[in-house]
Amino acid sequence: MEWNGYTGNILNVDLTRNKISIIKENLEDIKQFIGGIGINCKLAAELIKPGIDPLSEENVIIIGTGPMVGTITPGASRVVGISKFPASGAIANSCGSMSFGFHLKQAGFDHVIISGKAEKAVYLEILDDHVELCNATDIWGKDIVETTDRLWKKHDGSCGVIAIGQAGENLVKGALTLIDKTSTFGRGGLGAIMGSKKLKAIVSKGTKGVSIADPKEFNKLYKKLIERIRNYPHRKSWIDLGMLRSLPIGMLLSMKGQKKKARQCSDRVYLKKLKKRRIACPSCPMADKDILEIKEGKYDGLIHYTSSVINPFMMMTLDSLNTYDETINAFDLINRYGLDSLTITTLFQFLNDMNDKGILSKSDMGFEWKCDYNTLIKLIEMIAFRKGFGDILAEGWKKLADMNETMATEMLVVKGLDVVFEPRLLRLGTMEFEQVVNPKGAHVASGGSPTYVSSGGSMERFKTHFRRMGIPELAFNKIFTPPRKEMGINVGRLTRYSEDWYTVLTSTGICARAQMNRFWSLESITAFYNAITGFDLIQEDLRKAAERVWNLLKIMNMKEGFSRKDDKFPKEWFKPLKFGDNELNFQDFYGSTTITTEIANQLLDDYYDERGWDKINGQPTLEKIKELKLEKYL
Amino acid sequence: MSPNIIINEEKCVGCRICQLWCSYIHKKVFIPSEAYIQVKNVYDLNPKISFLDGCTNCGQCVEYCLYGALTLKEVED
Ligand code: SF4
Ligand code: SF4
């Protein structure tokens, strides 16, 4: 048959046997599961055996893209990876962007399955039909930036590269990978999984093209959408500032009473002192990736790529960092080694608190703790190379929790992953809540929803967004019925639909960031999807496929032993957070109610209920599994 | 060689929209490698934009580059 949007091919790479083959996709599967995250999940359910060690030869990595990737569809460049992650022990997905997915599609593949373990260090090269496992002994031991630069150079600066650094090689459980040395991919240990397989990098470069089914309809849809984007009044400021526009870190620091530091991460510092070049993922009209350059002082000349300047700026919430250039330098080191900046930030703060309280000391850590820049750099090196106490930290939060009861209760961790968004600071929106129920552990990407887009918004504004996301009208009433009336919104129920919406975006390949996803609706995605693939689906088919995928992800993790007991709100959230001179409480989205454990449990009940899951064990019911035709995966 | 288009590489973000659109309107497939406009070193500090033989001067890449990296030359009477 003729494939449009999809290539119809899955690349199958067995590292142990050095064997490469192609699996043809099945149309029925694609209609049931849809693209990137969907088919990835289906393959994972078939290939990852329950109970395996994530860092053993038995684990499998599946990387995939959606049918819109490789076309001009605005913002469609996402790539999804699924595997069993070492930080949490969960089978989970992770997303990234930049040019890997684009090139993979252009090379003629929708997904890549990587199994086994190579005898010696290798990297996988996918150049159209030429697929090869190449010797990587000369890049093993190099950091991500150097590895990527070398591979780019080999391919005239035009290929997608997923690479690991020393942290991945040394099996640091939270090690991630970077795509094109810019986009983080695989929080929770994808870097370590690649390291365990002796796979240093994956290169994709394609020249085959992606065809679409209905050019006339596509033209109409594209022109209409791109004109809307072109005329969006805030487009210019998004392009000037990128994500800094949505999360002004300086404001947070000012709130904390750190005005001097706030100036170090202001718009002005970014624009005048750091911004070198704005870059975009393929097809993106809202370019937001940063090339930064330090132009003065000790780190003069440092060039740094990041998916947004807010990533390093977020680290400035640490008391050990005072200037923008030290921050960028520390962040650059974290990226080069393939560590996770969010985890390092939370960990440093936690170790500092534990030292202050006398729970950790020199005898545990092997060195005198200081809350300063040099200690931060030392810690980064110790973890990446598993030196001294860094060897324990490299094992992740669980190992630290085992050391001491107080540490176990005070860490802000869900299922082995540290919390990214602190609800005592930001209140309880869907992103904060989803960190508790996400099968992966504390993770924010799939919780994006109107609680962000219309922050503090009216019910009417919410409804507009609900319709955009394709939430059935029948569900509106329940979403507007929270455990306490004054809360306005039931984030438990709404999170179910945020996850489904995220799954639709991640299946088709569209970026989930607010500035891009705001231009899309379930209606427009369905129209583009049909024009591209030639299928004749209705919105409900896509929404249902998304629900199916999320349930399948949950089923896989049921088999790994996860249940409601793991969907646990960190205990610390229920205590006030000291923030400068302020004490912040755990409050609902409108700041009208303090969230108690009772309300939190009710929100969990409501989330499971909205999903049609069993409230006692927090798992899909047999009825739900049958409705979604997933019985064979039980 | 497009005599009618002025290139401003400093403004280019490497989105490849120009290549995708050019290949699509002229070849009916999204095949940037065969577009008449080529952007090399997309994520380098200095990207390189060039036009290949076969470019029809249709100006469509200019129309769809949303970043101001391509502009049409003023036509003199
Ligand atoms: S010239 Fe314009 S459309 Fe082409 S890659 Fe550069 S910014 Fe994108
Ligand atoms: S002017 Fe037309 S043919 Fe020439 S590169 Fe641009 S889109 Fe292609």
| Tokens encoding A489 | 């919104």
Residue A559 domain-assigned? yes
Decide if pLDDT at A18 tops 80.
yes
Higher pLDDT, A270 or A450: A270
Statement to judge: residues A283 and A344 lie in one domain: yes
* Ligand 2, atom nearest to B54 Cα: 3
Q: What is the pLDDT of residue A50?
A: 96
Residue A413 domain-assigned? no
A438-467 mean pLDDT? 77
* Residue whose token pair is 């290139």: B7
Alpha-carbon span A436 to A178, nearest angstrom: 26
Give residue A41's domain range: 9-205
Statement to judge: residues A197 and A323 lie in one domain: no
The region of weakest confidence among A59-63, A351-355, A441-445, B38-42 is: A441-445
Residue A410 domain-assigned? no
Helices (H) and strands (E) in chain B, counts: 2, 4
**Chain A residues with CB-CB distance to B under 8 A?**
70-72, 98-99, 102, 106, 152, 156-158, 180, 182, 206-212, 215, 226, 229-230, 239, 276-285, 287, 291, 303, 305
* Ligand 2, atom nearest to B52 Cα: 5
Statement to judge: residues A438 and A583 lie in one domain: yes
Q: Evaluate whether B9 touches B24 at the Cβ level (below 8 Å).
A: no
Q: What is the pLDDT of residue A363?
A: 92
User: Ligand 2 center to residue A222 CA distance, Å?
Assistant: 18
Distance from CA of A198 to the nearest CA of B (A): 27
Statement to judge: residues A196 and A315 lie in one domain: no
pLDDT bracket for residue B1 (50, 70, 90): low
Alpha-carbon span A334 to A357, nearest angstrom: 27
Residue A3 domain-assigned? no
Please tell me if residue B20 touches chain A, with a CB cutoff of 8 Å.
Answer: yes
Statement to judge: residues A388 and A422 lie in one domain: no
Q: Give the number of beta-carbon pairs within 8 Å between A and B.
A: 84
Q: What is the pLDDT of residue A455?
A: 56
Alpha-carbon span A462 to A453, nearest angstrom: 9
Instruction: Quick: pLDDT tens for A109-138.
Output: 999 999 999 999 999 999 999 999 999 999
Statement to judge: residues A424 and A386 lie in one domain: no
A267-284 mean pLDDT? 94
Instruction: Quick: pLDDT tens for A477-519.
Output: 999 999 999 888 999 999 999 999 999 999 999 998 888 888 9
Would you call A157 and B41 a contact, using CB atoms and an 8 Å cutoff? yes
Alpha-carbon span A242 to A141, nearest angstrom: 33
Structural domains counted in chain A:
3
Contacts of B44 in chain A (CB under 8 A): 157
Statement to judge: residues A578 and A623 lie in one domain: yes
Q: How far is CA A561 from CA A51, A58, A89, A388, A619, in A?
A: 9, 18, 10, 32, 11
Decide if pLDDT at A270 tops 70.
yes
Statement to judge: residues A250 and A347 lie in one domain: yes
| Residue spans of beta strands (DSSP E) within A25-74 | 60-65
Pocket lining: B5 vs ligand 1, CB cutoff 6 Å: no
Decide if pLDDT at A24 tops 50.
yes
Could you report the predicted ipTM of this complex, rounded to two decimals?
Answer: 0.96
Q: What is the pLDDT of residue A394?
A: 97
State pTM to two decimals. Answer: 0.96
| CATH code of the domain in which A467 resides | 1.10.599.10
Residue A401 domain-assigned? no
Decide if pLDDT at A247 tops 80.
no
Which ligand neighbours the alpha carbon of B61 most closely? 2
Statement to judge: residues A130 and A279 lie in one domain: no
User: Ligand 1 center to residue B19 CA distance, Å?
Assistant: 8
Alpha-carbon span A450 to A457, nearest angstrom: 9
Alpha helices in A338-446 (DSSP H): 341-356, 362-365, 373-384, 390-393, 397-403, 405-410, 423-426, 430-437
Statement to judge: residues A583 and A498 lie in one domain: yes
Statement to judge: residues A100 and A147 lie in one domain: yes
| Residue spans of beta strands (DSSP E) within A206-300 | 275-279, 289-293
- CATH number 3.40.50.2300 given to B5-72: no
Q: What is the pLDDT of residue A5?
A: 96
Decide if pLDDT at B77 tops 50.
no
Please tell me if residue B14 touches chain A, with a CB cutoff of 8 Å.
Answer: yes
Decide if pLDDT at A373 tops 50.
yes
pLDDT bracket for residue A460 (50, 70, 90): confident
Would you call B34 and A209 a contact, using CB atoms and an 8 Å cutoff? yes
Statement to judge: residues A257 and A324 lie in one domain: yes
Alpha-carbon span A422 to A401, nearest angstrom: 20
- How many Cβ atoms sit within 10 Å of the Cβ of residue A605? 16
User: Ligand 2 center to residue A81 CA distance, Å?
Assistant: 36
Q: What is the pLDDT of residue A589?
A: 85
- For ligand 2, mutation pick of B24, B61, B64, B71 (most atoms within 8 Å of CB): B61
Residue A541 domain-assigned? yes
How many CA atoms lie less than 13 Å away from A582 in the CB half-sphere? 12
Q: Evaluate whether A76 touches A511 at the Cβ level (below 8 Å).
A: yes
